[in-house]
Structure 1
Amino acid sequence: MEPKLESGRLDSATLAKCTYRSVAFLTALYENSKYADICDEICSRFKVLDIGSFELTYAIPDHPNCLLQSDMDVRMMLMCLEMLNIRIVDILVKDRVNSNIEGAGQNHVESAGSNNVPIHTTPMSRTVETHSATGENEHLGNSTSHEDNAYLSQGWREYISHAGQKFEGGATEFRNKLRMYAIEMGFRFVYTRNDKFRVIAECFKKSEGCNWHIFGASCQANGYFYIRSLNNVHTCTSCTRGPKSKMMSSKIISSVIVDQIREKPTIKPADIVKDFKQQYGLDISYRIAWAGTKLAKSKVHGDESLSYHQLVWYRDALMSTNPGSHCVLESDPGTSRFQRLFVCYGACIEGFQWCRPLLFIDAIFLKSKYKGQLIGATGKDGNQGYFPFAFAIMDSESDENWSWFFDNLAKVLTPEGRTITFVSDRNKGLIEGISNIFPTSHHAFCLDGLKKNLFSIFPATYAKFFQERIVDLFMRCAYAPTEAAFEFNLKNLKDEGGAPIKTFLENLPKENWSYAYFKGNGYGEICNNVSESFTSWVSELWMLPICQMVDGLGIKLMDIIAERNREAGQWSSVLCPEMERTLNKTLIVGKDWNVTCSSASVFVVHAEGTITVDLSNHFCSCHDWQRKGFPCAHALVSGQKNSGSIYDYVSNFFKSSYFRSSYATLISPIPDMENAMHEGSDDRVILPPLSRKSPGPMAKKLQSVEKLPRAIKCGRCGAVGRHNKKTCTANI
Structure 2
Amino acid sequence: MVGGNMVIICQYGGEFVTNSDGNLNYNNGEAHAIDISCDVSFDELKSEITSICNIDLNGMSLKYFLPNNRRTLITISSDKDLRRMVNFNANSGPTEVFIMNKVDIRAPRSTVADSGTSVIAAAEAAHGVRRKRLTAGGRSSRGKVAESANPIAANNVAIVNVNNGMSIKVDNRPVTVGVIMENIMEPRPSIAHHMDERTNGGILAEPNIFGSLPMLDTVRPINAKTLSDTIITGVGQEFDNVRDFRAQLCKYAIGKGFAYKFIKNETSRVTARCVEENCPWRIHASESSRKQKFVIKKMNYTHTCGGGNGRGGHSRASRPWLISIIKEKLHEAPQCKPKDIVREVYEDFGVTVTYSQVWRGREVAQKELYNTLTEVYRQLPWFRERILETNPRSVATLMPSHDSKLCRFFLSFYASLYGFEQGCRPLLFLGRVPLKANTDCKLLVAAGIDGDDAIFPVAFSVVEDETYSSWVWFLTELRFALSTSRIITFVSDRKKGLEQAVPQVFEDNYHSYCLHHLIEDFKEELKNGPWSQQVKDALVDDFIRAAQACTPEEFNGCLQNIRNASTDLADWVITTKPENWSDALFKGSRYDHFSSNILDSLNNWIPVKHESSIVQMLDSIRGKLMEVMHSRREASGTWASTLTPSMEQKLHTELAKTHRLDVLCSSDTIYEVRGDTIYVVNTGSCECTCRRWQISGLPCIHALAALNRVGRSFYDYCSKYFTTEMYHLAYSASIQPIPDVERIYLNNNGDYYPPSNRRPPGRPRRKRINPNKTTTVIRLCSRCKMAGHNKATCEALL
Q: TM-score, normalised by structure 2?
A: 0.45
Greater Rg by CA: 1
Bigger relative CO (Cα 8 Å, ≥ 6 apart): 1
